[in-house]
Amino acid sequence: MEELLRTNNPVTVSFAEALLSEQGIIHFVADHHMSIVDGSLGILPRRIMVDGEKLHQARRLMRDAGLGDELPEKPVRPVN
C-alpha cells in the first residue's frame, strides 16, 4: 500500500473513499482513530493508502474530482 493523500479534513477523506470505492480501487484509511491521541482536535492527518499498482489511477481520479491540491507533488513511497 502506498500513500495517496494525507488530510485533516474528514469530509475530504469521506469523499476520496467514495470515489475510490466507486472505481473499485481497494484502499485503507490509516491513522483513522488517531483523534483519540490528539484529544479529538483533528491535528493528526489521516492517510489514504492504495495498492501501488493503482496509485497513478487513483491520483488521476482525485485530480479529476477536484482534489488535486490534496495530493503530494510526488507519490510518497513507504519506507521499508
Q: Is 12 left (phi over 0), alpha (psi -120 to 50) or beta?
A: alpha
Residue among 18, 1, 9 at smallest CA distance from 62: 18
pLDDT for res 8: 86
Q: Which residues of the chain have pLDDT under 50?
A: 79-80
State which fold the 2-70 domain adopts: Alpha-Beta Plaits (3.30.70)
- Dump strand ranges (E) for 1-80: 2-7, 27-30, 46-50
- The domain ranges of the chain are 2-70
**pTM for the complete prediction?**
0.80
